[in-house]
Amino acid sequence: MKLLVAINFATTKTTVLNALKKSGINRKDINFVTAIDEFLEALERGQYDVILSEYCINGADIWQIAKLVNSAKYAAQRLPIFLIQESCETEIPPILAKECRFQVVPLDKLADIITAAEQTYQNTGELYFNPSFKNKLLVIDDDEDAAFFAFHALKDEHEVDIAYDGLSGYQSWESKRHELVLLDLMLPGMMGDLVLEKIMEIDPNQPVIIITGHDQPNNHRELLLNGASEYLCKPFTMADLKDICQVIVNRAVLIYHTYYLRTKLDKLGMLLWLLDQTISSQIDNEKAKRIMTAIKATLPCNLSEDQKLKFQA
């Protein structure tokens, strides 16, 4: 198995080497690059099975790397991309990672993923890295027939789980963080409005479609104002359900993208304030350097050489 590893920092390189050593990967099968030009040159010149990357290298961040790797030029290789979680200054919402076809993996799980893939390769002759980028969908409905029909209508586009009561549904979501939830209101164990409330306390951006056969005055307004994405009264066709699910997922990508950018800007503002305080004190230059490193990781600088010369003039 050959790995193309895009890493800027020596400390991360050492940690990655140790993790890969545990999975039995030979050093000669790992090619480290630090810049996007090196990365693309290596991709065109060699045959690789896996791409492992930090959030940013010289000249590109993970969003640009994923766009290049998944472009038509390299699509035939279908290389899985793993982003090192520890290199992200801001948590990346899973729905955005799936949209760009990469997986975020903590370093302590890396060896397990590589080992499992290597074992599969030895048994079948094919590498397998769980390449599915379907969104996870959870149906919480005590009506087994309704849940059955929803499962079969949506399973081609989504990885569908089913829960038949509110408590187990909430626990399933808490464990797997599905990208979309279909939530009935009249549920045993925990009512749907309470399930919605508890989900919103953890993730106010979580897409939830309320499905109910017991419409009540003010339900629509109250549930949407309390965080639900859509309110759907039974009966409805499976075609309508599929269309609505796709619309809500597409909207969620935009919502999470906006949230992610806002979180990055908040982080950047805090770091700039810390840097200003540190520079003003003229005491701790090492701290200022650490803050500057965090700023660069949060907002990668991809200026060309001409642009750098222009700003230095």
Query: What is the assigned CATH class of domain 135-253?
Result: alpha beta
Query: The tokens of 152 are what?
Result: 């079969």
* Sign (positive or negative) of CA dihedral 186, 190, 192, 193: positive
Asked whether the predicted pLDDT for residue 306 surpasses 70, the reply is no
Residue 53 class from Cβ within 10 Å (0-12 exposed, 13-18 middle, 19+ buried)?
Answer: buried
Residue count of the chain, please give it. 313
pLDDT of residue 17: 86
pLDDT of residue 229: 95
Query: The tokens of 189 are what?
Result: 């164990």
SS3 176: helix
Confidence of residue 117 (pLDDT cuts 50, 70, 90): confident
In percent, the amount of the chain with pLDDT more than 90 equals 49
| pLDDT tens digits, one per residue of 20-47 | 887 778 888 899 999 999 999 999 888 8
Hey, which of 247-251, 269-273, 285-289 has the most confident mean pLDDT?
247-251
pLDDT of residue 112: 82
pLDDT of residue 304: 61
Homologous superfamily in CATH for domain 3-124: Response regulator (3.40.50.2300)
Query: The tokens of 99 are what?
Result: 């949209």
Q: Give the separation between CA 232 and CA 184, rounded to whole angstroms.
A: 10
- CB-based contacts of 296-299 (< 8 A; 24+ apart in sequence): 296/56, 297/55, 297/56, 297/87, 297/89, 298/89, 298/90, 298/264, 298/267, 298/268, 298/271, 299/264, 299/268
Q: Where are the alpha helices (DSSP H) in 23-125?
A: 36-45, 62-69, 94-99, 107-124
Mean pLDDT, residues 60-86: 88
Asked whether the predicted pLDDT for residue 272 surpasses 60, the reply is yes
> Do the two domains 3-124 and 135-253 of this chain adopt the same fold?
yes
Asked whether the predicted pLDDT for residue 299 surpasses 70, the reply is no
Asked whether the predicted pLDDT for residue 128 surpasses 60, the reply is no
Query: 6-10, 35-39, 90-94 — which is least confidently predicted?
Result: 6-10
Strand partners, 183: 140, 210
Confidence of residue 244 (pLDDT cuts 50, 70, 90): very high
Q: Give the separation between CA 85 and CA 113, rounded to whole angstroms.
A: 14
Q: Give the separation between CA 170 and CA 162, rounded to whole angstroms.
A: 11
Closest to 188 (Cα-Cα) out of 163, 209, 160, 215: 163
What is the average pLDDT value for the chain, to the nearest integer? 86
CA diameter of the chain: 70
Residue 12 class from Cβ within 10 Å (0-12 exposed, 13-18 middle, 19+ buried)?
Answer: middle
Mean pLDDT, residues 199-209: 96
**So where are the chain's domains?**
3-124, 135-253, 260-312
ω into 235 cis (within 30 of 0): yes
Per the model's pLDDT, the better-predicted residue between 275 and 41 turns out to be 41
